[in-house]
């Protein structure tokens, strides 16, 4: 993409309404624009990041054997009356009437709708286990939407639902989700810690929240510092192997790690004092096992091997896809702007032309831009007729991890400059070597 042809409305001023750094930077970098309280348009740069996050979520869900699908944002109230949640959900549910005066709602979550699809189509234990998921917009009429996309009213969520014959199978699905979430966040360059949590209006006994440690987090968390040494890495997982998934769950959840809702001072006191930490965290996902709550309420049963009709065991599992865009910035920025991890960056590298209009420099930039594209990469070429300082400031603000700077002086010596956004370190090399290096970096992402 050529910057002169792109839509990147960066702001010079720091927007006064934004209280936290990710919100400020998303507005300044032209990623989002508020449409109304807690509701945002995703401008081209923000949309690219959202798609990258969503892509990783899809790949890891499919790897775990979960099946993608899509349900509507608007639902009829009838199903929610069957489950009893139409009244229970309260003011957070946006209720709408259609022209026939029928009660509709904008979906805050989809346990009812997926259970309805299941009960109408599945009748035998032979069709289990089954896990389906979607990535879809949700609406919760939060009393205090704030921090930009971190606590929106409309937000983009991955929500997955498992259907199993027995509790044991459903707990395997729970473990499988935990493992797939660990992989998902790590691929984005984030350390998300599973913490024992409270199940709230979704219900159920088993639930973990995934939290990223950040000063601006809304949740207070307590944990054993040993937990931050754990990494998932590139281990091979067979998601059908119950014992293997269980072992990973135990490895990542056996140390003390809880949100304030479930925090227990006496238990925490058993952690050696030097390892006790309290901090703030951003909740980027949550998994639940809730048994037969919804299947009993809605009559989602299957015939088991002995011919009995039994209610299926279920769980639901969410990832805050739009919230992650903000959380990633909270975890990756400096005074000059965003620093995208390679896995989610909107463009792979920036190309800066220091002497726009100089035919040799323009030619070298065009060749570099074409060579990067030929390697399957997406460069952003700053071909505007602007001062070098302004070009550097924009690149730093939008946070592309790699920048190639091309100017007449370097070209005289046959070199361009490759700079890492994270370390600020630069290295001179031939344009071909710069292309090779960038391609090599992304080959492993």
**Looking at beta carbons only, is 67 or 360 nearer to ligand 5CA?**
67
**Looking at beta carbons only, is 159 or 382 nearer to ligand 5CA?**
159
Residue nearest to ligand 5CA (CB): 320
Contact between 106 and ligand 5CA per CB under 6 A = no
Which of 52, 66, 140, 177 is close enough to bind ligand 5CA by CB under 6 A? 140
Which of 60, 112, 159, 396 is close enough to bind ligand 5CA by CB under 6 A? 159
CA–CA separation, 151 and 161 (whole Å): 23
**Looking at beta carbons only, is 133 or 402 nearer to ligand 5CA?**
133
Q: Which of residues 181-210 bind ligand 5CA (CB under 6 A)?
A: 202
CA–CA separation, 372 and 2 (whole Å): 13
The closest alpha carbon to 158, from 235, 247, 66, belongs to 66
CA dihedral 100, 102, 106, 108 (to 10 degrees): -170
Which of 48, 66, 277, 323 is close enough to bind ligand 5CA by CB under 6 A? 323
DSSP string, 44-91: HHHHHHHHHHHHHHHHHHHHTT-EE----SEEEHHHHHHHTHHHHTGG
Q: In what order do the strands lie in the sheet with 103-106?
A: 74-76, 103-106, 95-97
Contact between 318 and ligand 5CA per CB under 6 A = yes
The closest alpha carbon to 283, from 192, 148, 184, belongs to 192
Which of 60, 283, 382, 383 is close enough to bind ligand 5CA by CB under 6 A? 283
Contact between 151 and ligand 5CA per CB under 6 A = yes
Q: How many residues does the chain have?
A: 445
CB neighbour list of residue 359: distance below 8 Å, 6 or more residues apart: none
Q: Cβ 69 to ligand 5CA, closest distance in Å?
A: 14
Range in contact with ligand 5CA (rule: CB under 6 A) among 147-155, 211-219, 233-241, 370-378:
147-155
Contact between 52 and ligand 5CA per CB under 6 A = no
| String marking each residue 341-380 x if it binds ligand 5CA according to CB under 6 A | ----------------------------------------
**Looking at beta carbons only, is 325 or 400 nearer to ligand 5CA?**
325
Contact between 284 and ligand 5CA per CB under 6 A = yes
Contact between 142 and ligand 5CA per CB under 6 A = yes
Which of 189, 285, 291, 410 is close enough to bind ligand 5CA by CB under 6 A? 285
CB neighbour list of residue 169: distance below 8 Å, 6 or more residues apart: 128, 129, 313
Q: Cβ 198 to ligand 5CA, closest distance in Å?
A: 10
CA–CA separation, 239 and 177 (whole Å): 9
3-state secondary structure 243-286: HHHHHHHHHHHCCCEEECCCCCHHHHCCCCHHHEEEEEEEEEEE
Which of 26, 157, 212, 227 is close enough to bind ligand 5CA by CB under 6 A? 157
Q: Cβ 318 to ligand 5CA, closest distance in Å?
A: 3
**Looking at beta carbons only, is 325 or 365 nearer to ligand 5CA?**
325
Q: For strands 313-320 and 276-291, give the pairing.
A: antiparallel
Using CB under 6 A, count the residues that bind ligand 5CA.
19
Report the chain's terminal Cα–Cα distance, integer Å: 21
Per CB under 6 A, residues contacting ligand 5CA are 109, 140, 142, 151-152, 155, 157, 159, 202, 283-286, 316-318, 320, 322-323
């Amino acid at each position: 993409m050529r910057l002169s042809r792109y839509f990147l409305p960066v702001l010079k001023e720091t927007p006064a309404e934004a209280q936290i750094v990710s919100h400020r930077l998303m507005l300044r970098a032209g990623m989002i624009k508020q449409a109304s309280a807690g509701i945002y348009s995703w401008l081209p740069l923000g949309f690219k990041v959202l798609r990258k996050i969503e892509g990783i979520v899809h790949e890891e869900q499919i790897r775990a054997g979960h099946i993608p699908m899509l349900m509507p944002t608007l639902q009829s109230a009838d199903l929610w009356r069957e489950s009893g949640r139409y009244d229970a959900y309260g003011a957070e549910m946006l209720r709408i009437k259609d022209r026939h005066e029928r009660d509709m709602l904008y979906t805050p979550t989809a346990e009812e709708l997926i259970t309805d699809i299941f009960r109408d189509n599945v009748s035998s234990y032979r069709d289990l286990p089954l896990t389906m998921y979607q990535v879809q917009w949700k609406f919760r009429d939060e009393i205090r939407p704030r921090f930009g996309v971190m606590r929106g009213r409309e937000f983009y969520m991955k929500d997955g639902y498992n259907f199993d014959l027995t509790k044991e199978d459903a707990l395997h699905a729970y473990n499988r989700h935990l493992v797939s979430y660990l992989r998902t966040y790590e691929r984005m360059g984030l350390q998300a810690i599973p913490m024992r949590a409270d199940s709230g209006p979704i219900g159920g006994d088993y639930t973990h929240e995934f939290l990223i440690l950040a000063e601006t987090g809304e949740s207070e968390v307590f944990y054993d510092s040993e937990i931050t040494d754990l990494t998932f890495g590139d281990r091979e997982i067979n998601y059908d192997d119950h014992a293997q998934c269980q072992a990973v769950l135990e490895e990542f959840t056996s140390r003390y790690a809880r949100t304030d809702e479930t925090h227990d001072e006496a238990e925490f006191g058993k952690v050696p004092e030097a390892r006790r930490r309290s901090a703030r965290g951003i909740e980027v996902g949550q998994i639940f096992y809730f048994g037969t709550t919804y299947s009993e309420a809605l009559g989602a049963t299957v015939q088991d091997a002995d011919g009995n009709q039994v209610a299926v065991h279920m769980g639901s599992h969410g990832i805050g896809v739009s919230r992650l865009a903000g959380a990633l910035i909270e975890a990756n920025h400096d005074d000059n702007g965003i620093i995208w991890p390679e896995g989610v960056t909107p463009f792979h590298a920036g190309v800066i032309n220091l002497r726009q209009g100089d035919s040799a420099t323009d030619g070298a930039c065009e060749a570099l831009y074409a060579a990067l594209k030929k390697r399957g990469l997406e460069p952003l070429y700053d071909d505007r007729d602007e001062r070098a300082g302004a070009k550097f400031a924009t690149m730093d603000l939008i946070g592309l991890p790699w920048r190639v700077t091309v100017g007449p002086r370097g070209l005289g010596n046959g070199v361009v400059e490759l700079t890492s956004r994270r370390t600020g370190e630069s290295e001179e090399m031939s344009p071909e070597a710069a292309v090779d290096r960038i391609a090599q970096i992304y080959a492993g992402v």
